[in-house]
Chain A
Amino acid sequence: MRAILRFTLAESCPDPAEVLRSRDLPDAPDLPVRARGALEEALARFADLSEPRAVFEEIPATVFASVLGDVDADRSVVAHVFPRADALALFAATVGEPVCLEIRRLFARGDIVLGYMLDTVASVAADRLSDLTTVRFRDALGPRNSRRTRILPYSPGYCGWPTTGQGALFEQLQPGEIGITLNDSCLMWPLKSISGVLVAGPLAAHTFETDFPFCDACATRECRARLATAAAGDELWTS
C-alpha cells in the first residue's frame, strides 16, 4: 500500500496559538504589536507559498529490518519497538521548497523577526503533516485498526536511529516523487520536511525503558511526553 497525500491549507496551516505555544511564547495579545504583525505576515506567506505533501508506504517488518541495517535493539528505540508492531509504514512529508527558500531569503536580508516567525510556522506545519499522515495511515489500515491501536512516528536522528539511516529509508520510499531529496550528509531538502516510520500497535509495543546509551546525555525526555500523550489516546501528539 502506497499513497501520495496532498493537504489543503486548512489542514496544514497551524493556527497562531499553536505556533506561539511551540516556542513557549505568550498568547498573541501579550506579544509586541510588531511581533504579532510578523506572525500574521508569516502565516499569510505560508498560505501563499506552502505545498504540503506526504507519501507513505506500508512495508513488512523484514523490509524495515533491512532499512535499519545494523542499527540494533540495544542501541535504538525504533529497533527495539518495531518487532512488536502490528503494521509499519515508511513516510515522508514536506511543506515544500518555496517556504524554505523564503525563510532563507528573509534571514539573508536581515528580516529576522519575520524569518523567525515563518521558520516557526513551517516547523509546526511539518509536525502537523506528520500527524495528518499518521491519521491517513490509520484510515488505510481498515479493519486492522482498533481502539487499542496507537500509531507513533519514529524518525532518523532521534533516539539512536542515526541520520545516515535516512539513506536506506529514502532508497526504499523514494520520496523524490513529492520533491524531497537527500544531500551527502543524509539531510533533507526542503529543510522543513520530516521522514521516518509509522509504527502501529498497542501502547505496550511503544513502551521502553530509558536506559539506552544516549538517554543519559539527552536533556529533553520528549519520548516520555509523547508516550504519555499516546497513552491518553491522543493521536496528534505533536500538537
Chain B
Amino acid sequence: MDILKQIAEALRQGEDESVLTLASQALASGIPPKSVLDDGLIAGMNVVGDQFRRREIFLPDVLLAARAMHAGLDVLKPHLSRNGVPSRGKVVLGSVRGDLHDIGKNLVAIMLQGAGFQVIDLGHDVSPEAFVDAAMDAGASVIGMSALLTTTMARMKDVVELLRQRGLAGTIRTIVGGAPVSAEFARAIGADDYAFDAADAVERVRGLIEAR
C-alpha cells in the first residue's frame, strides 16, 4: 500500500500517532504537502464521512478520525503555502440567540474542518448581527445555524431576514439544523438548506458552495 493510502487508512482507524508518523515520512520522501493533504488526510476523512452516513460507524469513530486529521495537519502546516492549509470554503457556525446547546454544532464544525472547510465557530447564544457580521468579515460563503429548542429555532429566521435586508441573500447562503428543525421548517423560514446531522451538513455545505 502506498504511503498516502496508509495515511488515509490510519486516519480512518483514528490512529493519530500513525497519521503523524506517516505524514512526516511522506513529506520526507518528497511527496508534495498538498498531495498528503488531499490524497491522504482528506481522502481518509471522506471515507469516514461516507461510512458514517451509511451508519457503518459511529460518532466516536468520526471524532477519533478528526483528531487524527488534526495531528496530520499539524505536520503539514509548516510545509504548506504562506496562506496555510488550503480551504474549500469558509463557513460561519453558531447556535442561535438564546440557545446554549452546542455539542451538535461542535460536531458539524469538526466534520467540516475534516472535509477541508475553514470554520469560524461563534459558539452559542449568537445574535443575528454577529452571524452576519462574522460572515462578512471573514468572506464566508455559508452561515450554519443550530438550535435545540422550539423556542429558539425561530431565531434562525432573523438571520435569514437580516441577510436579505443587507442584500446578502444568495451571496451568503444559510443552512440550519438541530433536533427540532426539519427541511420543511428550513423552507418556511427561507433558509437555503437543512442538514439532518453532521455528516449530512458536510455534503449540504459542499453543495451550497459548489452551486454558487
Chain B's nearest CB lies how many Å from the CB of A20?
A: 9
Q: How many Å lie between the Cα of A6 and that of B78 in the bound state?
A: 51
Per a CB cutoff under 8 Å, which of A35, A119, A157 touches B152?
Answer: A157
- A191: Cβ under 8 A from any B Cβ: yes
B98 touches A185 (CB 8 A): yes
B179 touches A112 (CB 8 A): no
Contacts A34-B14, A163-B149 given; does A25 touch B58 at CB 8 Å: yes
Chain B's nearest CB lies how many Å from the CB of A125?
A: 14
Across the interface, name the chain A residue whose C-beta is closest to B98.
A163
Across the interface, name the chain A residue whose C-beta is closest to B16.
A34
Contacts A185-B125, A186-B98, A217-B188 given; does A163 touch B63 at CB 8 Å: no
Per a CB cutoff under 8 Å, which of A117, A187, A191, A217 touches B98?
Answer: A187
Contacts of A123 in B (CB 8 A): 103
Chain B's nearest CB lies how many Å from the CB of A175?
A: 16
A217 touches B151 (CB 8 A): no
Across the interface, name the chain A residue whose C-beta is closest to B127.
A185
Per a CB cutoff under 8 Å, which of B59, B60, B151, B182 touches A219?
Answer: B182
- Size bin of chain A's contact surface: 35 or more
- A38: Cβ under 8 A from any B Cβ: yes
Chain B's nearest CB lies how many Å from the CB of A93?
A: 15
B185 touches A217 (CB 8 A): yes
B14 touches A217 (CB 8 A): no
Per a CB cutoff under 8 Å, which of B61, B149, B181, B184 touches A35?
Answer: B61
B149 touches A107 (CB 8 A): no
Contacts of A107 in B (CB 8 A): 106
Contacts A26-B58, A31-B58, A107-B106 given; does A218 touch B64 at CB 8 Å: no
Q: How many Å lie between the Cα of A188 and that of B149 in the bound state?
A: 14
A32 touches B60 (CB 8 A): yes
A183 touches B182 (CB 8 A): no
Per a CB cutoff under 8 Å, which of A32, A159, A163, A185 touches B64?
Answer: A32
A-B contact count (CB 8 A): 95
A217 touches B63 (CB 8 A): no
Q: How many Å lie between the Cα of A35 and that of B13 in the bound state?
A: 11
Contacts of B41 in A (CB 8 A): none
Q: How many Å lie between the Cα of A124 and that of B182 in the bound state?
A: 25
- B100: Cβ under 8 A from any A Cβ: yes
Chain A's nearest CB lies how many Å from the CB of B60?
A: 3
- Size bin of chain B's contact surface: 20 to 34
Contacts A32-B61, A35-B60, A35-B61 given; does A163 touch B152 at CB 8 Å: yes
- A113: Cβ under 8 A from any B Cβ: yes
Contacts of B110 in A (CB 8 A): 112
A217 touches B153 (CB 8 A): yes
- A214: Cβ under 8 A from any B Cβ: yes
Across the interface, name the chain A residue whose C-beta is closest to B188.
A217
A113 touches B152 (CB 8 A): no
B64 touches A35 (CB 8 A): yes
Interface mask (A169-210 → B, CB under 8 Å = 1, otherwise 0): 000000000000001011110010000000000000000000
- B97: Cβ under 8 A from any A Cβ: yes
Using a CB–CB cutoff of 8 Å, the interface residues on chain B facing chain A are 14, 58-61, 63-64, 66-67, 70, 97-100, 103, 106-107, 110, 124-125, 149-153, 179-182, 184-185, 188
Using a CB–CB cutoff of 8 Å, the interface residues on chain A facing chain B are 23, 25-26, 31-32, 34-35, 38, 107, 110-113, 115-117, 119-120, 123, 156-164, 183, 185-188, 191, 214, 217-220
Beyond A32-B64, A162-B98, A185-B98: 5 further Cβ-contacts under 8 Å? A32-B14, A35-B61, A113-B67, A158-B151, A219-B182
Show 21 A/B contacts (Cβ-Cβ < 8 Å), sorted by A: A31-B58, A32-B14, A32-B64, A35-B64, A112-B67, A116-B106, A116-B107, A123-B103, A156-B151, A157-B98, A157-B99, A157-B149, A157-B152, A162-B151, A163-B99, A163-B149, A183-B125, A185-B97, A217-B150, A217-B182, A219-B180
